[in-house]
């Protein structure tokens, strides 16, 4: 289905904020859902769509909001799309995070895993005590998100690899330095990070969920290009995921 781009603005080094007008189904999105963008205006180049996690929903203006980073040809093409451009988008796709209430929860976002954290936070911060941890290479990569979270009145624990702001190290480093926090853990980030979180959470007897980042072909569970191993057999990240319980996924050594 075609949707009109109403904003595609660079907000940091290689980081862009994309807003799409979705007047008829803007309110169908749940935290953790993703969308599949067709970036070839003519023909099939590039052939595969690109998945983007939902970052926020502007209910007043009926817009989906996406935060993405330019990392290759596909996202470079997306960054060149101008306001008013119509883009073919499938979604919302995949499952979503379980929303908790009356608990102390921890949110961990590393790299582009910071993108889906914000919409999840907006759904739970009024009903829970929330600890937010985000990490990036430098402060310029997450200042937009830091400011948005701060506007909600939620404190942010942040780390930078280069030490340009906050804790020097990774988001895992600052989380581990704070000790065990919360009844429930949400996380999104690269696989090595999630693998380490799984180990630490198991030792701390923590439960929760994380969202896997994975390359996808069709986005609807047909091509089987995004299969991951779980304790109950192979599952498709695009269909049964991208959100899985902390203990469910089996990572390769």
- The two three-digit tokens of residue 115, written as one number: 């993108």
Q: Which domains does the chain have, with CATH numbers?
A: 2-93 (2.40.30.10), 104-245 (3.40.50.80)
Does residue 118 have a known ligand-binding role?
no
Does residue 67 have a known ligand-binding role?
yes
pLDDT digits (tens, 9 = 90+) for 73-132: 899 999 999 999 999 999 999 999 999 887 899 999 988 888 999 999 999 999 999 999
pLDDT for 138: 87
Does residue 69 have a known ligand-binding role?
yes
Helices (H), the chain: 73-79, 117-124, 143-151, 171-178, 191-203
In whole angstroms, what is the distance from residue 56 CA to residue 214 CA? 20
pLDDT for 42: 66
Does residue 98 have a known ligand-binding role?
no
Does residue 202 have a known ligand-binding role?
no
Does residue 74 have a known ligand-binding role?
yes
pLDDT for 43: 67
Does residue 50 have a known ligand-binding role?
yes
Does residue 228 have a known ligand-binding role?
no
C-beta separation of 109 from 53 below 8 A: no
Residues of the chain with pLDDT under 70: 41-43, 180-181
CA atoms within 13 A on the CB side of 187: 29
Does residue 53 have a known ligand-binding role?
yes
């Amino acid at each position: 289905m075609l949707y009109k781009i109403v904003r595609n603005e660079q907000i940091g080094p290689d980081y862009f904020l994309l807003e799409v007008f979705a007047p008829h189904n803007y309110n169908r999105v749940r935290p953790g859902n993703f969308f599949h963008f067709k970036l070839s205006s003519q023909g099939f180049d590039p052939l595969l769509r690109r998945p983007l996690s939902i970052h926020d929903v502007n209910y007043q203006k009926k817009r989906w909001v996406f935060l993405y980073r330019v990392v290759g040809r596909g996202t470079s093409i997306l960054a060149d799309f101008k306001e008013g451009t119509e883009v073919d988008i499938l979604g919302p796709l995949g499952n979503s995070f379980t929303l908790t209430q009356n608990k102390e929860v921890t949110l961990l976002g590393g790299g582009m895993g910071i993108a889906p954290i914000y919409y999840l936070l907006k759904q739970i911060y009024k009903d829970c005590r929330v600890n937010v941890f985000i990490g990036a290479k430098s402060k310029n990569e997450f200042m937009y998100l830091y400011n948005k979270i701060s506007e909600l009145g939620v404190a942010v624990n942040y780390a930078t690899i280069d030490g340009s702001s906050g804790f020097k190290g990774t988001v895992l480093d600052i989380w581990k330095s704070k000790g065990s926090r919360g009844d429930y853990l949400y996380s999104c980030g690269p696989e090595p990070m999630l693998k380490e979180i799984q180990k630490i959470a198991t030792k701390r007897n923590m439960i929760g969920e994380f969202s896997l980042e994975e390359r996808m072909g069709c986005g609807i569970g047909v091509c089987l290009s995004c299969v991951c191993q779980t304790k109950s057999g192979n599952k498709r990240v695009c269909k049964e995921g991208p959100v899985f319980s902390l203990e469910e996924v089996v990572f390769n050594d």
